[in-house]
Amino acid sequence: MPLPALLCLCAAAAASTARGDYRLAGLFPMHSPQPRDAPQPLVDSCDDPTTFKYHGYALSQAMRFAVEEINNSSTLLPNITLGYDIYDTCSEPANLHATLRALVQKDGREVEVLSTFRNYEPQAVAVIGPDCSDVALTTAAVLSVFLVPVISYEASSEVLSQKRLYPSFLRTIPSDGQQVKAIFQLMKNFGWNWVALLGSNNAYGRDGLDALQRLLNENNMCVAYRGTFALNADASSQELHNLAAILRDIKVNVTVIFANRQSVHPFFKVMVQRNVTGMVWVGSEDWSLDQTIRQIPGIQNIGTVIGISVEMTDPAMVERFVSWKAEKSPVAEQDDSVEGGGENGGSAQLDCTQRCTACHLSASALDTYDTQASFNVYSAVYTVAHGLHDLLGCASGACSKGTVYPWQLLEKIKQVNFTLYKNPISFDDGGDIHKGYDIIMWNWSSKSSAFDVIGTFSVNPDRLIIDQDKILWHTEDNQAPTSQCSKGCQPGERQVQQNHHRCCFTCMACPPETFLNRSDLYSCQSCGADQWSPVSSEACFNRTIEFLSWFDPISWALLIPTVLLLLLMAGLAVLFALNFSTPVVKSAGGKMCFFMLGSLACSCSSIFCYFGEPTLHTCLLRHPLYAISFSIFLSCMTTRSFQIICIFKLNARWPALYEAWLRRGGPVLFIAASTAAQTGLCLAVEAASPSVPRRNYDTWPDRVALECGGAGWVSATAYTVLLSACCFALSYAGKDLPASYNEAKCLTCSLLLHLACSAAVLCTQGAFRGRAQATVQVLSSLCTLGALMAGYFFPKAFVILLRPHLNTPEHFQMAIQSYTRRLADS
């Protein structure tokens, strides 16, 4: 089945053709399309000299230059010559015509549509071009059916990297996906997050804007406005004037223009007319190096123009290219047939040059944009040559000149890896070349250079380098302008969004115990239980652990008197044991003295439970040990005071009372009952509210207090206060007893101090926490124990050691007789 008659209508010859063993097809726009008011034939006329495009012509000559270099090479494709067919793709129909002509079989037969094109041998083994993404989509789609390699030099749309749709498409210009990353990194480098996006209304512009907007949204950058403008608009277009008004109203300082240069030229004319000034314009690679745009009158006032351009071409290649063309004058020979020319290359047939007067290539005419695109064409031809070189087995020194099927050549081209004028040439899985960009800035003041390279963007990995010293901003202080909807918040302040734009916000400080995670600028995160943070914090800090450590200076200040007090109790016990038979020891209670000293020692030992990190054992022992031991001491004191009062005051009136007290073991029963009551109270309270270690987070924001929980010590303290009051009352009642039996004065002061300490502990229980609370309780215990021991035992020891003459039975007997006479006299 023949290809549709569409191909049969394509009768026009190629603009330039040369024979060879293997032929390439080159698609270059050497004329602008003519406007059509009515339906026209399939192929537009491309021979109007008034619409000649020097850029396309320069690219076609770059292809001829590369082919001639390869044919003259002794190392690349030896004994093989390359031919070419160069087509003028001045319009989409002309591009389709050239695409279909490239598919004509080598023997001139029509294409037969079979189930497979595996053995199909087209006239062109590869196609160089076309130029723009719109027409490349058509060419790549058609030729991918036959797996004919298509290597474009300017089509950069990221869609073309989809190998499922365009399996045979490659390119020597970086994909717009990389260009979008370069623009994003540029905006990120200068902190611009509030921008306008404009683009031409074609595949290049729309796809580029889509990709850029997605990347900006993913990185919390905002697009204040996005718009497109028509390809064929002029300076009188209302659409462009509306865009100028919009840019002035939204008050952005940075505008990204992703468009081709034909549409950007009238756009900037309108910007100059509407006096849109003082902005930063970020340009895509298609127009950033265009001299005609830079030469618009008054464009210097628009602000700063920063552009993305493909890496600069090695000057050596440009010099060789210009030198080659200077030697080649345009050939004006009538092309008798498409296949005219020499068998191994022949002469070039240049229909274009027969009708134009601007075909001479000179260094002055070859601008930066032309040289870069020419090098892309040059690289594409060499890519095909290296693929053929490998496919034909030329590494041995002679090529096989066998049949080349497109799919075979495509596989080899994908694998090429060589260096061309210091530029590495290789392709990734998407058919995209590994190539970076230069970051350029328009220089309004320099006469020698219109564009300055201020940085580079490299790929694999992506990296942007900017030389700040080379940048000349339009601002008075030569500083990079800002472009933000809202000024950035201070550290530790979250952003409260004002509208649907994430970049428009107010700032609110994060409260204490929260922090701002830089990965989420819109909410404050809570700190952990063992962490804290001040207001406006970006991190949480570990809380300081608060407890009375063994090694704190204050601990040593408390431990030393505690140990001394215990040693003093032990010394008193030894002293009383050595003088056990003396009246002083007997009057003090005899054997009960040792019981009282032991209870005081146990109470003093409970102090050690306040030091170090609280544990279950120390918390359980701390209060019960002190309370029960101290209750034993107070019970003994109360019993002894009661007995003395009975002996001296109540025995004469109620003798049976004292006898019953002694006969029924009153002292023992009272001490046992009092101790049992305190023990039962402690057990009940511990059961209801266990004294276990706990962490107190409520007292300080930056510290955590290690405490013993439970409230049993309050009840225990209240019980000891009750016993102290009873003991105090009995001691006070015996204030007029003989001096040897009268401890009222000393005990009164001791018990009053104990009551004061207990009241202070109860009143300050809510005021102190952690180490301070433990310190207060230890001090209270030391003061109480020391005062009671001093009030009761020190006077006895004083008499034993320093007043031995008072420690005699005679002295005690004399004191009792004196007390009896005084009572009788009264």
Note every long-range contact of 816-820, with CB atoms under 8 Å and residues 24 or more positions apart, other chains counting. Answer: 816/738, 818/738, 819/648, 819/737, 819/738
For the chain, the domain total comes to 3
Amino acid identity at 125: V
- State residue 213's pLDDT score: 94
**Residue 59 sits in the same domain as residue 99:** yes
Query: How is residue 132 annotated by DSSP?
Result: S
Cα–Cα distance measured from residue 187 to residue 258, given in angstroms and rounded to the nearest whole number: 14
Query: What is the span of the domain harbouring residue 587?
Result: 553-825
> Does one domain contain both 526 and 569?
no
In this structure, the chain runs to a length of 826
Looking at the structure, tell me whether residues 571 and 512 fall in a common domain: no
Phi, psi of 76 (to 5 degrees): -100, 120
Tell whether 106 and 165 lie within a shared domain: yes
How far is residue 98's CA from residue 103's CA, in Å, rounded to a whole number?
9
The answer to whether residue 337 sits within a structural domain is yes
> For residue 281, which of 295, 292, 267 has the smallest C-alpha distance?
267
Same domain, 798 and 738: yes
> What does DSSP assign to residue 500?
S
Is residue 292 in some structural domain? Answer: no
Torsion (CA) 39, 44, 45, 46 in degrees, nearest 10: 150
Within a domain: residue 198? no
Intervals of the chain under pLDDT 70: 1-15, 34-50, 106-116, 328-366, 447-449, 647-659, 662, 710-712, 734-747, 762, 765-766, 812-813, 815-826
CA distance 471 to 455: 10
Is residue 477, in this structure, part of any structural domain at all? no
Is residue 734 in a domain?
A: yes
Within this chain, do residues 574 and 527 fall inside the same structural domain, yes or no? no
- Per-residue model confidence (pLDDT) at position 111: 58
Long-range contacts of 30-35 (CB under 8 A, 24+ apart): 30/56, 30/57, 30/60, 30/88, 30/90, 30/352, 31/56, 31/88, 31/90, 32/90, 33/90, 33/91, 33/92, 34/91
* pLDDT for the residue numbered 13: 41
Considering only CA atoms, which of 368, 322, 321, 372 is closest in space to residue 153? 372
CATH at residue 343: 3.40.50.2300
Domain stops at, among 483, 515, 542: 542
343 CB-contact burial (10 Å; exposed 0-12 / middle 13-18 / buried 19+): exposed
Residue 483 is assigned to a structural domain of this protein: no
Q: Are residues 601 and 729 in the same domain?
A: yes
pTM score: 0.64
Nearest of 204, 201, 208, 189 to residue 256 by alpha carbon: 208
Q: What's the CA gap between 803 and 739, in Å, rounded? A: 14
Q: Is 683 helix (H, G, I), strand (E, B) or coil?
A: helix
Q: Report pLDDT for 48.
A: 66
How far are the Cα atoms of 233, 358, 603 from residue 55, in angstroms, in the given order?
21, 11, 103
Distance CA 194, CA 255 (A): 9
Which pLDDT score, from 0 to 100, does residue 349 have? 37
Round to whole Å and give the CA distance between 285 and 156: 10
For residues 713 and 688, give the distance between their C-alpha atoms in angstroms, rounded to a whole number.
12
3-state DSSP call for residue 504? coil
503 DSSP assignment: T
Q: Quote the CA–CA distance of 81 and 771 in Å, as a whole number.
A: 94
- Under a CB-based contact definition with an 8 Å cutoff, are residues 535 and 597 in contact? no
My answer on whether 349 and 382 are in the same domain is: yes
State residue 736's pLDDT score: 62
Residues 655 and 796 in one domain: yes
Q: Is-contact 263 200, C-beta < 8 A?
A: yes
On whether both 372 and 396 belong to a single domain, the answer is: yes
Residue ranges with strand state E in 243-371: 254-258, 279-283, 303-310
Q: The CATH number of the domain where 658 resides is what?
A: 1.20.1070
Which of 383, 409, 435 terminates a domain? The answer is: 409
Q: Which of 331, 284, 335, 273 is nearest to 306 (CA)?
A: 284
Q: Is residue 475 part of a domain?
A: no
Which residues make Cβ contacts (< 8 Å) with residue 507, sequence separation at least 6?
Answer: 489, 490, 493, 494, 495, 496
* Residue 278 in domain: no
Q: How far apart are CA 18 and CA 71, in angstroms?
A: 12
Q: Quick one: 655 and 704 in the same domain?
A: yes
Based on the domain organization, do 605 and 715 belong to the same domain? yes
- Where does 7-112 show beta strands of DSSP type E? 16-18, 22-28, 82-88
